[in-house]
Amino acid sequence: MNRKTISSKSSRPDIKNMLIRMIATSKTPVTRTDLALQTGLSKMAISNHIAELINLGIVIENPAKINYDYSIGRKPIPLSISPNSPCILGILIKRTFCQSILADISGHIIDMVKTDFNSNMTQDAFIHHILTHYHTLSSHTGRKIIGCGISSLGPVNKRTGCILSPPNFYNLSNIPIASILQAQTNLPTYLIHDADAGALVEKLYGNGSSYENFIYLHIASGIGLGFILNGQLFNGFSGQSGEIGHVSINFNGPQCSCGNVGCLELYASLSQIQKKISELLPHFKSSVFHKIPEPTWTDIMAQAAAEDPAAIIALDDFCSYLAYALANTLKLLDFSTIIIGYDAQPGTNIIENMLYTKLSAFLPQYSDLKIIHSHFNGNAPLLGAIAVIANQIFNHNISLI
Q: What is the pLDDT of residues 320-345, one digit of tens each?
A: 999 988 988 888 888 889 999 998 88
Confidence of residue 137 (pLDDT cuts 50, 70, 90): very high
Maximum Cα–Cα distance for the chain, whole Å?
74
Confidence (pTM): 0.90
**Residue 5 is assigned to a structural domain of this protein:** no
**Residue 294 is assigned to a structural domain of this protein:** yes
Of 84-88, 246-250, 349-353, 394-398, minimum mean pLDDT range: 246-250
- State the pLDDT at residue 175: 96
Confidence of residue 8 (pLDDT cuts 50, 70, 90): very low
Number of domains in the chain: 3
In the listed set 81, 110, 127, which residue is the last one of a domain according to the structure?
Answer: 81
**180-205, pLDDT tens digit by residue?**
999 999 999 999 999 999 999 999 99
Confidence of residue 93 (pLDDT cuts 50, 70, 90): very high
**40-64, pLDDT tens digit by residue?**
999 999 999 999 999 999 999 987 6
**Residue 186 is assigned to a structural domain of this protein:** yes
Tell whether the model's pLDDT for residue 2 goes beyond 50. no
Answer for the pair 200, 388: CB distance below 8 angstroms, yes or no.
Answer: yes
Main-chain dihedrals φ then ψ at residue 154, nearest 5 degrees: -105, 175
Tell whether the model's pLDDT for residue 9 goes beyond 70. no
User: What percentage of the chain has pLDDT greater than the value 70?
Assistant: 93
When comparing pLDDT for 315 and 362, which is higher? Answer: 315
**248 and 370 housed in the same domain:** yes
Helix (H) / strand (E) element for 319: namely helix 309-333
**220 and 304 housed in the same domain:** yes
Answer for the pair 71, 43: CB distance below 8 angstroms, yes or no.
Answer: no
Answer for the pair 263, 322: CB distance below 8 angstroms, yes or no.
Answer: no
**Residue 132 is assigned to a structural domain of this protein:** yes
**216 and 281 housed in the same domain:** yes
**30 and 76 housed in the same domain:** yes
Tell whether the model's pLDDT for residue 21 goes beyond 90. yes
In the listed set 61, 81, 101, which residue is the last one of a domain according to the structure?
Answer: 81
What average pLDDT does the structure give for the chain? 89
Q: How far apart are CA 340 and CA 134, in angstroms?
A: 30
Instruction: Give the residue numbers spanning the domain of 27.
Output: 12-81
**Which of 7, 50, 52 shows the shortest CA–CA distance to 30?**
50
**273 and 179 housed in the same domain:** no
**152 and 272 housed in the same domain:** no
**256-295, pLDDT tens digit by residue?**
877 888 888 888 889 999 999 999 999 999 999 999 989 9
Answer for the pair 210, 199: CB distance below 8 angstroms, yes or no.
Answer: no
**Dihedral, CA of residue 344, residue 347, residue 350 and residue 353, to nearest 10:** 140
